[in-house]
Amino acid sequence: MKCYKKSFGKLPSGEKVHIFHLENDNGVVLELIEYGAIIHRLIVPDRSGACEDVVMGQDSLEKYINNPSCSAAVVGRCANRIADATFSINGQRYTLEQNNGTNNLHSGSGNYASKLFSGIINEEERDKVSVTLYFKDTGQGGFPGNVENWVTYSLDNEGTVEIYYKSVPDTDTVINLTNHAYFNLSGHKSGSIKDHLLQINSEYYLPNGKMALPTGEVHRVAGTDMDFNEFRLIGEGLNSGETQIVKHGGYDHNYCLCGRGYRKVAEVRDPKSGRGMEVYTDMPGMQLYTANADWKNLPGKDGALYHKYGGLCLETQFFPNAVNASHFPSPIFRAGEVFESVTAFKFYTY
């Protein structure tokens, strides 16, 4: 197995940015950059052994800075939406930036996706290589206090990419980290994911109101095109008349995942390439997003032009706006309390 780093350029401030190359013995390559803790490339063999990069992104640091769409970055301090860009803890009201209508989305200017992490290669373990990226959040965007964050990516010989998150706040605050990778198992520049098969272990989802903000209701998936308990084509739902799907131009919904603790929660298969991906997490929710934005020839890596439905995100998380919804699992962590979470993507062929 291989693990090394090299230069990936400099920020306008002059700060150096490195890229880490992790490679297992079976052709899987994971490349990470310190800017945004972004998965730059994730190269996976298909059923015939041909390798393709299965995450969308950009070619250079400058392009990631100027065109952040589709980056597989770490999102924090609070991923997803906070209603009216405000919340209260201990009777103290905090006001954030409004960047999604009147809501706050992905922490606004405080989003970790545009922050410089500092990375180190960890001592090699048996059948696994890993890199830890560190960033100290000092409260940009209106969040209270400081949070120290460590994100460890690892790759093993079985084709599993694991993301371990650890955060420690010095003030009571909300913490909700995820990775915003856009996956296309046919290859990042292959077009639509409508022919991908998807399965999600979930009996309930959160219906959305305006700007894809959950209404606070919890609905059953049974009998609707929100149901992925059995494998089905993503395109069936995207082409359906389901109100929630039509309203948002596709899927942009939180699924309430079955079970607790670290468990398998979803699986994706691409009949064309024979690639499959299992998703594991210990988080209570997962946002399914099918790249509903009206992309028209959006420039991407390797000369690719990205279009609507060109990838899908499976963002493990606390529920959106959970800081304002007492009936949702709480994302509030007290000063000194450790937030830890693990999400993994296991690749295979069939």
Residues with catalytic roles: 180, 315
* Count of alpha carbons within 13 angstroms of residue 7, beta-carbon side: 6
Q: Which of 53, 349, 71 is nearest to 184 (CA)?
A: 53
Cα gap 136→146, rounded to integer Å:
7
Do 340 and 283 touch, CB atoms closer than 8 A? Answer: no
